Amino acid sequence: MTVATTAQLAFDGSGIDGSWFTSVTDFARDTRWLNTPMEVWTNLGLGVFAVLMVMGWWNARRRGTQAMTVALAAPVAVVIAFAAAEVVKKIVGEIRPCRSMPHAYIVDTCPAPSDYAFPSGHTTTAAATVAALFLLDRRLSAIAAVFAVVEGFTRVYVGAHYPHDVLGSAILALPVAYLTSLALRRWATPLVAALGRGALRPLLTAEPRAVPQHAR
């Protein structure tokens, strides 16, 4: 199947909320001074979620084995949610707004026709981080939620996704990441406890190793 044929068979989501999409992209046209910062943030901003997960891991070193297990589960949960989103993306096959609404103001470069729009991978990563951190640190999860909203908005602002792509990402990522973290907290805690007694102990706990009585 050729690229052109793939594009023709793809689902056109402009009829769902195309008017909302153009409202945001019209705003982007009126704020051209903001285009470059938003385009940079929409990609590099994902680094914030990695930093928040690292902060969660660092703090978990002082909170015990179960907290550490959840901290280590966070990136795993994000990867699983992202993988699920990629499967849905191939099944739905929604054509990108830059192709279905060519007259809209698009900041981002239009990807290949086979790179579908629903759901948003960027927003999936952001929302999954929110859910993955929820069991670990509610404060970090709340911070992640704020940045996730910003990330979702930038995806529409630069013209990469429709609003429903962003919303669909959150609806998919939140339960997948949360349930993955919950399951790993239950199943992987014994493994993390065992690792904490070995060479990886400095990475898994901030507590000093107990000194045997006979060595005192």
Name the residue with higher pLDDT: 190 or 172: 172
Residue 50 has pLDDT above 50, yes or no: yes
Residue 1 has pLDDT above 70, yes or no: no
Residue 7 has pLDDT above 80, yes or no: no
What whole-number distance in Å separates Cα of residue 74 and Cα of residue 216? 39
Going from the C-alpha of 21 to that of each of 62, 85, 154, 174, 203, the distances in angstroms are 45, 21, 12, 23, 45
DSSP string, 108-148: SPP--TTS--SS-HHHHHHHHHHHHHHTT-HHHHHHHHHHH
Q: What is the pLDDT of residue 193?
A: 76
Residue 211 has pLDDT above 50, yes or no: no
Q: List beta partners, residue 11.
A: 94
Structure tokens at 198: 């070995």
User: Which domains are present in the chain?
Assistant: 16-193 (1.20.144)
Angle between helices 65-92 and 46-60 (to 10 degrees): 160
Banded pLDDT at 8 (limits 50, 70, 90) = very low
Structure tokens at 56: 């969660």
**Span 87-130, pLDDT tens digits:** 999 999 999 999 999 899 999 989 888 889 999 999 999 999 99
**Residues of the chain above pLDDT 90, percent:** 67
Instruction: Indicate the residue type of 139.
Output: R
Kindly report the pTM of this predicted structure: 0.86
Residue 215 has pLDDT above 90, yes or no: no
Structure tokens at 212: 């045997």
What whole-number distance in Å separates Cα of residue 49 and Cα of residue 62? 21
